[in-house]
Amino acid sequence: MDARVDKTLRITTPSDFEFAMTRQFDAPRRFVFDAMTKPEYLVRWLGCETLAMPVCEVDLRVGGAYRFVFRSSEGIEHELTGTYREVVRPERLAFGETFSMPGFTSDEYLVISTFIEEAGTTTLTTTIRHPTKEARDGHLNSGIDKGVAPAYDRLAEVVAGMG
Amino acid sequence: MPLDPLSSTFAALADPTRRAILARLALGETSVMELAKPFDMSLPAISKHLKVLEHAGLISRGREAQWRPCRIAPDSFKQVDGWLGNFRRFWDESFNRLDGLLEEMKAEEAAKAPPRSNRKVSNPKVRVTKEKQRGRTRG
């Protein structure tokens, strides 16, 4: 089967406390896993064009910590820190994470990534579980998606059409 | 606690009834009576939701007619839309860059350990491709 790789990022809400991102990659899962866990790779892809990543530290073992700092062009720093809970190369990665920026620090949420490989294509599913629905919605509010507010999405389309 | 404009917008969007009202208004302006129909709610209750939406700048209400038609305020939504896109944009952009990195990782591994079966054939095309790639990875 010529597996066409679907590179669309899909965001869903499997439960009130969670949301999930799914994305396919045209590469074996060991590459995807390494790219997500080794600083020399992470600094090359994680973040937007406009965000520098001055700090990228990873202690990849159960109980080990990581710290990523992003700096915007205005000098505002956003930080992701966490502790690895499960490290099973190349199939599963779980960590507890906290997001912080000036004036705001999130509660810790759990991030579980599974890497499924089929015919050289890797499907990455990342589930992000928050302690409360409010916290999850707050996280997603930086990118509310179809599962969260279908009404809003339709609306956005209509409004966009109104010019 | 004073709310900035986006916070009051999100507070307004957090309620499912209000989102449903907005979805209805996306189809066109209408009256409070019409809006109340699908909901098991009194007119005052619906009016309260409309006030929240109006305060958040998500809808506007006509003054011109007795029935004060409700309609969506498009500018407000544009602002929200820009802000809402951040999470998705962050990961979309990141993953697109990861695609490029993975291609490099694959090429690197292939260069380190060329499969034996391909070697025997000694295909000149393969060599040309590799040289081209090497030349290109300057930056």
- The enclosing domain of A57 has a CATH number of 3.30.530.20
Residue B38: is its pLDDT beyond 70? yes
The better pLDDT of the pair A27, B73 is held by A27
Task: For tokens 């209400």, name the residue.
Answer: B61
Partners of A139 on chain B (C-beta within 8 Å) are: 87
Contact A113, A124 (CB under 8 A): yes
- Give the SS3 label for residue A16: coil
Token pair recorded at residue A137: 């919605």
Selected for mutation to probe chain A from B89, B105, B108 (highest A CB count within 10 Å) is B105
pLDDT at position B138, please? 42
Residue A70: is its pLDDT beyond 80? yes
- B84 is in which domain, residue-wise? 77-136
**A51 within some domain:** yes
Tell whether B64 and B81 lie within a shared domain. no
Q: Burial, A11: exposed, middle or buried (Cβ in 10 Å; 0-12, 13-18, 19+)?
A: buried
Selected for mutation to probe chain B from A142, A153, A154 (highest B CB count within 10 Å) is A142
Tell whether B61 and B86 lie within a shared domain. no
pLDDT at position A134, please? 74
- Indicate the average pLDDT of chain B: 72
Cβ distance of B102 and A25 shorter than 8 Å: yes
Total domains present in chain A: 1
Q: What is the pTM of this model?
A: 0.60
Q: Burial, B111: exposed, middle or buried (Cβ in 10 Å; 0-12, 13-18, 19+)?
A: exposed
Q: Which of A52-61, A110-119, B62-71, B95-104 has the lowest mean pLDDT?
A: B62-71
**A2 within some domain:** no
Proportion of chain B above pLDDT 70, given as a percent: 62
- A86 is in which domain, residue-wise? 10-161
Partners of A46 on chain B (C-beta within 8 Å) are: 94
Total domains present in chain B: 2
Tell whether B115 and B63 lie within a shared domain. no
Which among B23, B45, B72 is the end of a domain?
B72
**A4 within some domain:** no
**A144 within some domain:** yes
Chain B residue at shortest CA distance from A159: B74
Query: What pLDDT band is residue A66 in, cutting at 50, 70 and 90?
Result: very high
